[in-house]
């Protein structure tokens, strides 16, 4: 069995929330948080890995029909998924959003609760935090 590290973020999040309530201009805090999240996501794209490790290998059919380059970063008329991401914040929350409808499939998968097959246009928050 592989070694596991389990981190309980509950107390840390409570402390962050308490600090956020004491800050007069929380917009500056949430702006900084959204930029940190964007940087983290960009690093994952550059390394082609997620929090759980490397991205799944492309199928042989996909490899044959795509241009060379990093996964989900193909540029062209529509641009790649990485280029569609942008940090977003207000006084109470920070997030990173995507303007590609397929972002939900890459972030949440294609399970039974997926929005991808419904035809609804959903631009997900890839990461999000609320004070």
pTM of the complete model: 0.64
Percentages (nearest 5) of helix, strand, coil residues in the chain: 40, 15, 45
Strands 93-98 and 85-89: antiparallel
CA-based diameter of the chain, in Å? 55
pLDDT at position 81 is 84
pLDDT at position 5 is 57
pLDDT at position 1 is 45
Q: Are 74 and 80 in contact (CB under 8 A)?
A: yes
Q: pLDDT 10s per residue in the chain (131 long)?
A: 455 556 566 777 788 777 766 766 778 888 888 899 899 888 888 898 887 888 888 889 888 888 788 887 766 556 678 888 889 898 888 888 888 877 777 776 666 555 555 555 544 555 555 55
């Amino acid at each position: 069995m592989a070694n596991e590290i389990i981190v309980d973020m509950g107390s840390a999040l409570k402390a962050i929330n308490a600090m956020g309530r004491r800050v007069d201009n929380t917009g500056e805090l949430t702006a900084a948080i959204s930029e940190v999240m964007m940087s983290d996501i960009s690093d994952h794209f550059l390394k082609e890995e997620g929090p759980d490790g490397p991205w799944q290998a492309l199928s042989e059919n996909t490899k044959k029909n795509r241009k060379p380059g990093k996964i989900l970063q193909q540029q062209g008329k529509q641009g790649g998924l990485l280029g569609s991401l942008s940090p977003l914040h207000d006084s109470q929350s920070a997030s990173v959003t995507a303007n590609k409808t397929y972002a939900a499939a890459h972030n949440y998968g294609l399970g039974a609760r997926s929005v991808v097959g419904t035809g609804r246009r959903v631009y997900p928050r890839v990461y999000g935090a609320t004070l």
